[in-house]
């Protein structure tokens, strides 16, 4: 309850603002005027949340911002539900608190246009919750539903089995095969679907390596934002980052993986998988709101580090349970 | 002790989130903050120019549009900056050109396309 109160008070200053940047971009239909529709397109559910807010409440920006904040609080609650089964209760509370309050999350929460991140994360967290209860069909349906929040949410199909592999309950070989076949089938269908919206899919190798450098910088700024929020910006200057820095980033990540505790390792892998599409896709930009899903396990890792102190850096397998 | 450190970290997060959230109240604050973090980028300059344009601050708007156009037009500029170039230039041509007779704008009009 303290975390929820702190989150509401921290975001209170943004609630009274108007539409900002992509919330009401010239040439596009304003978010508050999107119609309720059953025409399934990319980000369908996200668009329905805008339409539903206007239909149920009003088209004021303060209302839309309050809905986004409520959605963020819901995600914090879901994260607590997911992690309390695998870590000690204080670590679960701290993880959820950090997820709700970390400054890098502001872009995804305060900007109404980036609610797609919140909606996709909700489905992912529901999928993790289903998986931890052993409801694998429900987990698969929720993982697929992340697409209705944001198309890049499809990485949930990889994140859910990863989470199950880490914290259980472990899947049988047959269950893993069924998940893989269903996901592969969906992946092929998704590729065909993406082509119909003219998405370019894979970037050249040098661009991918540069994207790794940018993602690394973005994560570092996200971490440092708790010390100085002025490192955050709606648009970062990535000039000077190249493939060589991308390789250096991979080397640092590997060193951190080898030196880190089990949750630090998990956080690194989680970031890699969660950001994989953003690294691979040639036309993708990289902004702070793209870290929203990646921050789920980062917050658990930080909370775990704080609870275990120095032991966490010896590469032990202490889960803090 | 760990509880205290945890509470301190959460308080620190809340403080910086509060400050960052203030920047998201309006376009002006958002893009001014972005200009401070990344002064060389085209997009913050362009969007802050739009804010000034709405406030009828022509000279500041034109200066920012020109900066955006110059940065974006560089051949070495990353791809994610270039797509603002067309917008910036068209704004200068369509918005600044008709008001070139105004003293506050006229110094910038030498940059406009003939």
Q: Is A11 on the interface with B (CB under 8 A)?
A: yes
Q: Do B25 and A17 touch (CB under 8 A)?
A: yes
Q: What is the pLDDT, as a whole number, of residue A42?
A: 74
pLDDT averaged over every residue in chain A: 85
What local confidence, expressed as pLDDT, does residue A189 receive?
Answer: 81
Tell me whether B90 touches chain A (CB under 8 Å). Answer: no
Any idea of the CA torsion for A128, A163, A315, B1, to the nearest 10 degrees? 0
- Among left, alpha and beta (phi > 0; psi -120 to 50; other), residue B57 is beta
| A308 touching B (Cβ < 8 Å) | no
* B78 touching A (Cβ < 8 Å): yes
Inter-chain CB proximity A229 and B20 less than 8 Å: yes
More confident residue, A142 or A203: A142
Q: Determine contact, residues A4/A73, Cβ cutoff 8 Å.
A: yes
Whether the Cβ atoms of residue A32 and residue A50 lie closer than 8 Å to each other? yes
φ/ψ of A119, rounded to 5, equals -65, -45
Q: Which of the residues B2, B14, B28, B41 would you substitute to probe the A interface, choosing the one with the greatest number of A C-beta atoms within 10 Å?
A: B14
- The fraction of chain A above a pLDDT of 70, given in percent, is 90
pLDDT recorded at residue B93: 63
Running DSSP on this structure, what letter comes out for residue A21? G
User: Are B69 and B86 within 8 A, CB to CB?
Assistant: no
Identify the pLDDT of residue B114: 45
pLDDT tens by residue, B7-62: 898 999 999 999 999 988 888 899 999 998 888 888 888 888 888 877 877 778 77
- Confidence grade of residue A97 (pLDDT, cut at 50, 70, 90): very high
Structure tokens at A257: 């993986």
Using CB atoms within 10 A of its CB, is residue A16 exposed (0-12), middle (13-18) or buried (19+)?
Answer: exposed
User: How far is CA A231 from each of CA A234, A265, A270, A279, A297, rounded to the nearest angstrom?
Assistant: 10, 25, 23, 22, 22
Residue B84 is predicted with a pLDDT of: 55
Residue B75 has pLDDT above 60, yes or no: no
pLDDT of A309 over the 70 cut? no
- Output the CA–CA distances (angstroms, integers) from residue A123 to A74, A142, A226, in the order listed: 11, 5, 27
Of residues B6 and B106, more confidence is placed in B6
Determine contact, residues A85/A189, Cβ cutoff 8 Å.
Answer: no
Q: Do the Cβ atoms of B48 and B29 come closer than 8 Å?
A: no
Q: What is the ipTM of this complex?
A: 0.84
Task: Give the pLDDT score at A171.
Answer: 85
What local confidence, expressed as pLDDT, does residue A74 receive? 96
Q: Quick count: other Cβ atoms within 10 Å of Cβ A47?
A: 22
Q: Which residue of B has its CA nearest to A113?
A: B24
Min Cα separation A191/chain B (Å):
24
A97 touches chain B (CB under 8 A): yes
pLDDT band, residue A314 (cuts 50/70/90): very low
What is the DSSP secondary structure assignment for residue B95, as one 8-state letter? I
CB-CB contact of B88 with B72 (8 Å): yes
Which residue among A16, A101, A228 places its CB closest to the CB of B25? A16
Q: Which of the four pLDDT bands, split at 50, 70 and 90, describes residue B111? A: low
Residues of A in contact with B88 (CB under 8 A): none
User: What residue of A is the nearest CA neighbor of B17?
Assistant: A103
CA distances from B73 to A166, A191, A282, B89 (A): 48, 33, 20, 10
Cα separation, A319 vs A14, in Å, equals 37
Number of Cβ pairs < 8 A linking chain A and chain B? 125
Q: What is the DSSP string of B29-66?
A: HHHHHHHHH-TT-HHHHHHHHHHHHHTT-HHHHHHHHH
CB nearest A20 (choices: B20, B24, B41): B24
Q: Which residue of A has its CA nearest to B38?
A: A237
Residue A61's contacts (CB-CB under 8 Å, 6 or more residues apart) are: A17, A18, A19, A23, A32, A112
When pLDDT is averaged across residues A270-281 and rounded to a whole number, the result is 88
What is the pLDDT at residue A142?
93
- pLDDT computed for residue A290 by the predictor: 92
Ramachandran class of A43: left when φ > 0, alpha when ψ lies in -120 to 50, beta otherwise: left
Report CA-CA distances (Å) from A76 to A53, A70, A98.
21, 10, 9
A272 CB burial (10 A radius; 0-12, 13-18, 19+): middle
Residue B46: list chain A partners with CB under 8 A. Answer: none
Asked if B33 and A230 come within 8 Å (Cβ–Cβ), the reply is yes
pTM given for the model: 0.85
Crossing angle of helices A295-308 and A115-132, rounded to 10°: 60
User: Is there a contact between B35 and B49 (Cβ–Cβ < 8 Å)?
Assistant: no
Which residues in chain B are closer than 8 Å to A17, comparing Cβ atoms?
24-26
**Model confidence over A188-241: pLDDT tens digits?**
887 777 666 656 667 778 888 888 999 999 999 999 999 988 899 888 888 888
Expressed in angstroms, the distance from the first to the final Cα of chain A is 23
């Amino acid at each position: 309850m303290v975390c929820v109160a702190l989150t509401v008070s921290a975001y209170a200053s943004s609630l009274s603002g108007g539409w900002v940047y992509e919330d009401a971009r010239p040439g596009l239909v304003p978010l508050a005027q999107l119609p309720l529709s059953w025409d399934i397109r990319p980000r369908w559910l996200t668009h329905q949340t805008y339409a539903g807010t206007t239909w149920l409440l009003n088209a004021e920006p303060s209302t839309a911002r309050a809905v986004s904040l409520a959605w963020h609080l819901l995600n914090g609650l879901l994260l607590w539900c997911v992690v309390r089964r695998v870590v000690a209760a204080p670590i679960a509370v701290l993880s959820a608190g950090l997820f709700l309050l970390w400054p890098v999350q502001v872009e995804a929460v305060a900007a109404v246009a980036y609610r797609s991140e919140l909606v996709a994360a909700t489905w992912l967290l529901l999928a993790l919750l289903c998986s931890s209860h052993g409801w694998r069909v429900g987990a698969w349906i929720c993982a697929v539903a992340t697409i209705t929040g944001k198309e890049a949410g499809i990485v949930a199909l990889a994140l859910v089995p990863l989470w199950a592999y880490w914290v259980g309950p472990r899947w049988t070989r047959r269950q893993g095969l069924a998940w893989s076949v269903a996901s592969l089938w969906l992946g092929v269908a998704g590729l065909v679907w993406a082509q119909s919206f003219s998405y370019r899919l894979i970037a050249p190798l040098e661009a991918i390596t540069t994207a790794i450098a940018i993602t690394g910088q973005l994560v570092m700024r996200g971490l440092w934002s708790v010390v100085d929020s002025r490192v955050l910006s709606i648009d970062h200057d990535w000039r000077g980052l190249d493939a060589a820095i991308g390789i250096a980033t991979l080397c640092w990540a590997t060193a951190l993986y080898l030196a880190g505790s089990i949750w630090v390792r998990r956080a690194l892998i989680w970031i890699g998988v969660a950001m994989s599409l953003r690294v691979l896709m040639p036309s993708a930009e990289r902004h702070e709101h793209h870290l929203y899903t990646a921050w789920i396990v980062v917050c658990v890792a930080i909370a775990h580090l704080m609870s275990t102190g120095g032991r966490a850096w010896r590469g032990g397998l202490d889960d803090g349970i | 002790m760990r509880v205290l450190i945890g509470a301190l970290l959460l308080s620190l997060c809340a403080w910086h989130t509060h400050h960052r959230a203030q920047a998201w109240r309006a376009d002006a604050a958002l893009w001014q903050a972005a200009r401070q973090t990344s002064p060389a980028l085209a997009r913050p300059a362009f969007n802050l120019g739009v804010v000034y344009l709405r406030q009828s601050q022509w000279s500041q708007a034109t200066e920012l549009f020109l900066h955006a156009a110059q940065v974006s037009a560089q051949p070495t500029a990353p791809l994610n900056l270039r797509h603002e170039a067309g917008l910036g230039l068209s704004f200068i041509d369509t918005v600044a050109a008709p008001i070139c007779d105004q003293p506050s704008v006229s110094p910038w009009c030498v940059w406009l396309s003939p």
